[in-house]
């Protein structure tokens, strides 16, 4: 696939993800309504470091240069490859909303706002929003591929949690 075709697919997927993300009904891969908890009373924090994860920025747009002119933010698309047993470590979405597309595999999320682990499978689109903090683990035997679309703070050089 050519880079322009990949960018086209990501743009189309991001638009669909944004459209779906504004729905208020429960979506696949979200915490069940009866299991939602105030922030900090859901799943416990994990100190497990990142492991078995490749995180690549595919493209980004500096929003200060766009007509909506959001200063200090990048609209960013990333591809995460998570090996069996891999961990995306504990991190917060207090100031970085995101939408994730689970492209392949199945993965478990442990969120500070949910009493039970959340299962995500290929085809799910899930929002990450304030005040959620969470971590993810691939408990399966197959790799997981996730496309993440977020509003990253442009002054941050990299994601500290992925180090």
Instruction: Write the class of the CATH domain 3-162.
Output: mainly beta
pTM here is 0.79
Q: What is the pLDDT of residues 56-97, one digit of tens each?
A: 999 999 999 999 999 999 999 999 999 999 999 999 998 899
DSSP readout, 45-113?
P--PPPEEEEEEEEEEEEGGGSTT--TTEEEEEEEEEEEEEEEEEEEE-SS--EEEEEEESEEEEEETT
Query: Mean of the per-residue pLDDT values for the chain?
Result: 86
Name the nearest CA neighbour of 117 among 39, 64, 42: 42
Q: Quick one: average pLDDT of 26-50?
A: 89
Distance CA 56, CA 138 (A): 18
Q: What is the pLDDT of residues 103-154, one digit of tens each?
A: 999 999 999 999 999 999 999 999 999 999 999 999 999 999 999 999 998 8
Distance CA 25, CA 88 (A): 26
Domain ranges of the chain: 3-162
């Amino acid at each position: 696939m050519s880079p322009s075709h990949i960018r086209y697919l990501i743009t189309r997927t991001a638009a669909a993800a944004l459209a779906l993300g504004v729905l208020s009904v429960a979506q696949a891969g979200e915490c069940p309504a009866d299991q939602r908890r105030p922030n900090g009373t859901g799943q416990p924090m994990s100190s497990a470091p990142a492991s078995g994860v490749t995180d690549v920025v595919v493209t980004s747009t500096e929003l200060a240069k766009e007509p909506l002119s959001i200063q200090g933010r990048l609209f960013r698309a990333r591809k995460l490859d998570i090996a069996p047993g891999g961990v995306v470590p504990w991190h917060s979405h207090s100031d970085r909303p995101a939408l994730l597309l689970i492209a392949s595999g199945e993965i478990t999320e442990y969120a500070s706002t949910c009493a039970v682990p959340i299962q995500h499978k290929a085809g799910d689109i899930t929002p990450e929003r304030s005040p959620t903090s969470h971590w993810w683990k691939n408990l399966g035997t197959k790799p997981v591929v996730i496309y993440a679309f977020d509003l990253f703070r442009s002054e941050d050089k990299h994601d500290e949690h992925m180090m």
